[in-house]
């Protein structure tokens, strides 16, 4: 069984630290309450937790799971922009500044609308277009820009649930992911997510058809330069998972599908 430790944040906010069982491949994670947490508390909780992680192990890449993402105060979410982009947290006070390492993997979930049934073929959504726009608009464009994957999970009708074929075993998926990561590290010395924009031409070069597809998609969807480069990094990872040294149009197409975005944002 897992043990839980709670770190108090202010008077009523709390985060739960879930200590994993002794598995080398397990990533610890945190989940949080959204009702009262502030931006400063969010950043402080991340820093406190990562400091404890650094003392326990030298592995990087712990994960933070945030459920009901739009329910968090916008200031708390905006406070994540800096560590998501740079892997660092800068704390400024009147007399001094301090910078701390804060690289982590953010995993978040949200409903498509306040009632949760937008796009549900089994139940009608009762939200107005204005309510949907306001709900999704709680996530700013710059915040969404810093997310690598934006995936819609559709509702599966009950009759189909009975006939679902077994998925690929997790052990096989883990082997493919480990092999893809090894390819990336052998090629450039680190994971694809850490590739700087100036290094993409050398380590994530696109075939002509793939380059044309990415450029057309960026123009049509109105991507920022940050989104453009993130899709290119994801395409590099898709190619590594397929064991391909080159990034083809099919790899770019898959990366684009993994960044569908929200209806109120260009992606």
What is the predicted pLDDT for the residue at 101? 83
Residue 12 has pLDDT above 50, yes or no: no
Confidence label for 44 from pLDDT (cuts 50, 70 and 90): low
Structural domain range at position 251: 170-257
Same domain membership, residue 196 and residue 106: no
Give the burial string for 138-171 (b: 16+ CB within 10 Å, else e).
Answer: ebebebbbbbbeeeeeeeeeeeeeeeeeeeeeee
Q: How far is CA 194 from CA 61, 84, 85, 246, in A?
A: 12, 11, 10, 19
Residue finishing a domain among 60, 79, 110: 110
What is the predicted pLDDT for the residue at 92? 81
Instruction: Provide the domain count of the chain.
Output: 2
Residue finishing a domain among 71, 93, 110: 110
Q: Of 190, 191, 238, which is closest to residue 210 (Cα–Cα)?
A: 238
Residue 262 lies in a domain: no
Kindly report the average pLDDT of the chain as a whole number: 81
Q: Are 146 and 226 in contact (CB under 8 A)?
A: yes
Same domain membership, residue 183 and residue 99: no
Residue 240 lies in a domain: yes
Residue 38 has pLDDT above 60, yes or no: no
Residue 156 lies in a domain: no
Same domain membership, residue 13 and residue 101: yes
Between 224 and 23, the more confident residue is 224
Least reliable range by pLDDT among 33-37, 46-50, 116-120, 144-148:
33-37
Local structure of 105: helix, strand or coil: strand
Confidence label for 13 from pLDDT (cuts 50, 70 and 90): very low
Residue finishing a domain among 75, 93, 110: 110
What is the predicted pLDDT for the residue at 262? 72
Residue 239: HSE in the Cβ half-sphere, 13 Å Cα cutoff: 25
To which H or E segment does residue 92 belong? strand 88-92
What is the predicted pLDDT for the residue at 39? 54
List, for residues 158-170, the tens digit of each pLDDT value.
888 888 888 889 9
Q: How far is CA 67 from CA 34, 111, 131, in A?
A: 9, 9, 20
Residue 137 lies in a domain: no
Between 87 and 182, the more confident residue is 182
Same domain membership, residue 7 and residue 106: yes
Q: What is the mean pLDDT of residues 170-193?
A: 95
Residue 119 lies in a domain: no
Q: What is the CA radius of gyration of the chain?
A: 20
Residue 253 lies in a domain: yes
Structure-token pair, residue 114: 């306040």
Same domain membership, residue 102 and residue 8: yes
Nearest 5 degrees, angle CA 148-CA 104-CA 49?
Answer: 150
Residue 157 lies in a domain: no
Provide the whole-model pTM. Answer: 0.77
Residue 125 lies in a domain: no
- Looking at the chain, the whole-number percentage of residues with pLDDT higher than 70 is 75
């Amino acid at each position: 069984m897992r043990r839980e430790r709670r770190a108090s944040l202010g008077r009523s906010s709390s985060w739960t630290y879930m200590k994993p069982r002794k598995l080398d491949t397990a990533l610890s994670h945190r989940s949080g309450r959204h009702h009262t947490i502030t931006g400063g508390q969010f950043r402080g909780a991340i820093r406190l937790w990562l400091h404890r992680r650094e003392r326990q192990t030298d592995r990087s890449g712990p994960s933070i799971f945030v459920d009901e993402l739009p329910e968090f105060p916008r200031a708390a979410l905006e406070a994540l922009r800096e560590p998501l982009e740079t892997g660092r947290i800068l704390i400024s006070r009147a007399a001094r500044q301090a910078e701390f390492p804060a690289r982590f993997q953010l995993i978040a979930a949200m409903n498509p609308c306040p009632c949760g049934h937008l796009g549900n073929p089994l139940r009608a959504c009762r939200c107005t277009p204005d309510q949907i726009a306001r709900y999704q608009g709680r996530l700013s464009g710059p915040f969404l820009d810093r997310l690598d994957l934006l995936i819609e999970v559709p509702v599966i009708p009950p009759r189909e649930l009975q006939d679902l074929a077994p998925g690929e075993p997790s052990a096989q998926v883990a082997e493919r992911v480990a092999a893809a990561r090894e390819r990336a590290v052998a090629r450039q010395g680190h994971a694809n997510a850490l590739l700087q924009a100036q290094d993409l031409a050398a380590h994530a070069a696109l075939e002509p058809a793939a380059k044309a597809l990415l450029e057309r998609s960026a123009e049509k969807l109105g991507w920022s330069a940050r989104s453009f480069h993130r899709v290119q990094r994801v395409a590099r990872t898709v190619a590594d998972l397929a064991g391909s040294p080159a990034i083809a149009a099919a790899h770019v197409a898959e990366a684009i599908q993994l960044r569908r975005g929200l209806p109120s944002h260009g992606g």
